[in-house]
Amino acid sequence: MVMSTDKSYNKKYLKKIIHFLYTTYGGKKIELDYETPFQLLCAVILSAQTTDKQVNKITPAFFRKVRNASDLSTIPLEDIEEKLQYVNFYRNKSRYIKETGNIIAEQYNNSIPNDLILLQTFPWIGIKTAKVVLAVLYDMPYVWVDTHIHRVMNRLWIVQTKTPEQTDKCLDIILSEQEKHILHHPTVLFGRYHCTAKKPKCETCLIKNMCTFYKTIKNRSQ
């Protein structure tokens, strides 16, 4: 794992990229639908290895019955599974949502704790889920690296890493708190809709002149 060196990465360059991402995709919210903090937590848990679109299809029926963690206490696990059956790993996810809901209802008075370490002690809540929830609910400065951010950051040569976990560590070091506040959603949306994994729309990309990936494929085709 290495961060790009001065040869290609520097603070000025990073600022330009962040400015582009923010002005293009900033202001847009997380694409998971929810109304309450606990519903957000459920939606994020459900979104592991499932698209946001699929999660949004199945959550309305579930959320009509579950607004807060305490609502789960009277709902049998089988009923939760039945409502969530169209997402991957729904049995495990249903169990973890039920267990997490019990903890939040009984020990935290139905509130989601705003503590990264504490949240990760709950069932199924890893670092990514915890960061998403804290950043969205409490505007805390966390970037959680998914495949989109990992891909975009590497194509732009901001990091040179093999895994999202390595990218996460690098970004944690090179980004300021303010940059962490604004980077996540714009980068995910840019990766999801423009700098896509299989067919990135490079010819219409406004930062292609700064993009190492683009320059490399251009050079290869000449």
Catalytic residue positions, numbered: 128, 146
According to CB under 6 A, which one of 11, 214, 216, 219 is a site residue for ligand SF4? Answer: 214
Torsion-angle region of 214 (φ positive above 0: left; ψ -120 to 50: alpha; else: beta)? alpha
d(CA 151, CA 167): 9
Binding flag, residue 200, ligand SF4 (CB under 6 A): yes
Nearer to ligand SF4, 7 or 64 (CB): 7
Backbone angles phi, psi at 68, to 5 degrees: -125, 165
Nearer to ligand SF4, 63 or 214 (CB): 214
56-63's contacts with Cβ under 8 Å and 24+ in sequence apart are 56/31, 56/32, 57/86, 58/83, 58/84, 58/85, 58/86, 58/87, 59/32, 59/33, 59/34, 60/33, 63/34, 63/35, 63/39
According to CB under 6 A, which one of 23, 39, 194, 198 is a site residue for ligand SF4? Answer: 194
According to CB under 6 A, which one of 15, 28, 201, 218 is a site residue for ligand SF4? Answer: 201
Nearer to ligand SF4, 37 or 200 (CB): 200
d(CA 86, CA 61): 12
Binding flag, residue 37, ligand SF4 (CB under 6 A): no
Binding flag, residue 205, ligand SF4 (CB under 6 A): yes
Binding flag, residue 19, ligand SF4 (CB under 6 A): no
d(CA 144, CA 150): 10
According to CB under 6 A, which one of 128, 175, 202, 218 is a site residue for ligand SF4? Answer: 202
Q: Residues 129 to 158: which contact ligand SF4 by CB under 6 A?
A: 155-156
Scanning 44-52, 166-174, 181-189, 195-203 for contacts with ligand SF4 by CB under 6 A, the matching segment is: 195-203
Binding flag, residue 183, ligand SF4 (CB under 6 A): no
Q: Which residues bind ligand SF4 (CB under 6 A)?
A: 155-156, 194-195, 200-202, 205, 207-208, 211, 213-214
